[in-house]
Amino acid sequence: MNISRVIILYLLCVFCFSLPEKLITTTNNPHPLLAKKIQKWILALQNNNKQAYNNLCRIGKISQRYLYQALEKDINHVAKKNIILITEKLQLANEDVLLKCIQNSSLHIRVREQAIVSLAKSGGQNSLKLLAVIAFERDSLLYRSAAMTITKLPKNTKYTIQLLQHWDRNIVQTAHKSLVETTKQKYTANYQLWKKWWENNE
């Protein structure tokens, strides 16, 4: 590679990263050189590379297609978990993609758990209903993650109340504590009491 081409490539990279974020994210079809950079950064996530993580966050929506594609590829669970974190941070989380990750038993448990957290934060009511179902599946490796995630978000009060019926006493205690803190009510961990309160205040 001659020196002039090296200089051009360098200037292009500098130019891309000196642009305001709004300009960087105006297209979903980046220059081929930037596309290669994106793919390189995604691979670097396998080693928990913070610079690669920050670069992908900085370019915003332009990386969305590549991030989703990477979830389907043979990269390690560290990278896939980071990808889900990035899409959540950029508010690009796709409900269908997250549901697919949760339901894919071949994925590492940490990836599926992160998908649950992101889904709870960005998903709609249908997604929350699904998490509530998972929370009560005895054979699921994810029931505890789903239950604990539900208790951490104020908008999930209805589903947190349902957790008072759980067979896992730790989950019941966590759900009760969350309800007391978020609603300021002083009821005991009695499902019927909380259900009645919810119906009267919904």
Residue 118 lies in a domain: yes
Q: Considering the domain boundaries, does residue 35 fall inside one?
A: yes
Is residue 67 assigned to a domain? yes
Evaluate whether residue 92 is within a structural domain. Answer: yes
Report residue 49 CA to chain centroid gap.
18
Domain of residue 43 covers: 29-123
Q: Are 61 and 92 in contact (CB under 8 A)?
A: yes
Residue 25, pLDDT score = 43
pLDDT value for 15: 47
Residues whose CB is less than 8 angstroms from the CB of residue 34 and which lie 6 or more positions away in sequence, other chains included: 16, 59, 62
**Does a structural domain hold residue 166?**
no
Per-residue tens of pLDDT for the chain, all 202 residues: 455 454 444 444 544 544 444 434 444 678 889 999 999 999 999 999 999 999 999 998 899 999 999 998 889 999 999 999 999 898 888 888 898 899 898 999 999 999 999 988 876 777 888 889 999 998 788 999 999 999 987 778 999 999 999 999 999 999 999 999 999 999 999 999 999 999 998 7
- Model confidence, pTM: 0.73
Q: How many domains does the chain have?
A: 1
Degrees to nearest 5, angle at CA 126 with 125 and 131: 95
Does residue 77 belong to any structural domain of this protein? Answer: yes
Whether 51 is covered by a domain: the verdict is yes
pLDDT value for 3: 52
